[in-house]
Amino acid sequence: MSAQPQRNVIANALAQIGEAGLFGLTLLAAVPRSMKHARETVRQLWFVGAMSLTIIMVCGLFVGMVLGLQLYYVLSIFGGTAASGTVVAIAIYRELGPVVTALLFAGRAGTSITAEIGLMRATDQLAAMEMMAVDPIAYVAVPRYLAGLIAMPLLCAVFCALGIFGGHLVGVTWLGIDNGTFWSNMTATVDVWKDVVNGIVIKSAVFGAVVSLIAVYQGYTTPPTSEGVAYATTRTVVASSIAILALDFVLTAFLM
């Protein structure tokens, strides 16, 4: 394979990241203008946040249950099942909670944001707003971006709660780990700032900002065709997934 196409792929990827960054600055600059559309932000918070609750809760529960099950069998080899609660909580708070929530959020809410804005462009709704002297960045893009930013940490908190409940359900209720040991080891080891705040607040907020930016950017800049919208939706999932996992490594390195 020649080096030229590889250079083009890398150059295109860098150009896209640069454009998305500039678009992000445009969004931030439009935040004050979008304040008069606060009702729209609340409406979007309902769509991307509340409507994602079911999938987040179900997935959180099962992730916690799987974790509880795996840990029980691994730790029982060493006679350390008492640490199960601690490991479940730390794994969920630090990594699984923010990362899996962000991946689910990208798949459920990110794609819907991209498809909705892309279809609004394809059907001239954004142009119609421009013609009605309504700024589509302030009315359409910023409310969805802010909604994603606000919803992610909240969804992550719900995911973590259900994950720990799932781990407790399997470890304590089904496999017989002592309830007091499960909770006391967890509360003694888990640090509010290092584990909970870093995971639920910082990582989730960063992931929320990035996934929402990618989703809004892809929708806003998609070619106004059905194929363009389909590709943009796919790109949202792919780019978000890569960004979440790459940023997770960077954030973990800094927050350790």
Partner 1 sequence: MTAPAAPVEPLVRIRGLTTVLNGKTIFDALDLDIPRGKVTAIMGPSGTGKTTLLKHITGQMRGDAGQVRVDGQNVPELSREKLFELREKIGYLFQNSALLTDYDVFENVAFPLRQHTKLPEVLIRNIVLTKLQAVGLRGAAALMPAELSGGMARRVALARAIVFDPMLILYDEPFVGLDPIALSQVLKLIRTLNETLGITSVLVAHELEAIKQVADQVYLIANGKVVAQGDPKTIANDGSPWTRQFFGGDIDGPVPFQYPAGDYAQALGLTGAKA
What is the contact surface with partner 1 in residues (CB under 8 A)? Answer: 119-120, 123-125, 127-128, 130-135, 139
Cα 244 from Cα 106, distance rounded (Å): 9
Report the residue number, 74 or 134, with the smaller CB distance to partner 1: 134
Distance CA 102, CA 208 (A): 7
Alpha helices in the chain (DSSP H): 3-34, 38-48, 53-77, 84-91, 97-105, 111-122, 125-131, 136, 142-168, 179-189, 204-221, 226-255
Query: Closer to partner 1 at the Cβ: 82 or 122?
Result: 122
Q: Which is nearer to partner 1, 133 or 192 (CB)?
A: 133
CB 20 → partner 1: shortest distance, Å? 22
**Cβ nearer to partner 1, comparing 129 with 175:** 129
Minimum distance of partner 1 from residue 145's CB (angstroms): 17
User: Of the candidates 46, 236, 78, 228, which has an alpha carbon nearest to the alpha carbon of residue 154?
Assistant: 46
Q: Report the residue number, 130 or 191, with the smaller CB distance to partner 1.
A: 130
What phi-psi label fits residue 14: left (phi over 0), alpha (psi between -120 and 50 degrees) or beta?
alpha
Q: Kindly state the smallest distance separating residue 33's Cβ from partner 1, in Å.
A: 11
DSSP secondary structure code for residue 1 in this structure: -
Packing angle between helix 84-91 and helix 142-168, nearest 10 degrees?
170
Query: Which residue lies nearer to partner 1 by CB, 53 or 129?
Result: 129
- The CB-of-139 to partner 1 minimum distance in angstroms stands at 8
Closest CB to partner 1 among 51 and 202?
A: 51
Minimum distance of partner 1 from residue 25's CB (angstroms): 17
Q: Minimum distance between the CB of residue 122 and partner 1, rounded to whole angstroms?
A: 9
Q: How far is the CB of 255 from partner 1 (least distance, A)?
A: 39
Token pair 């893009």 in the structure block, residue: 141
194-199 contacts: CB < 8 A, separation 24 or more? Answer: 194/255, 195/89, 195/90, 195/93, 195/94, 196/93, 198/94, 198/255, 199/93, 199/94, 199/95, 199/97, 199/98, 199/156, 199/160
Using DSSP's 3-state secondary structure scheme, residue 246 falls into helix
**CA–CA dist 168, 34 (Å, integer):** 43
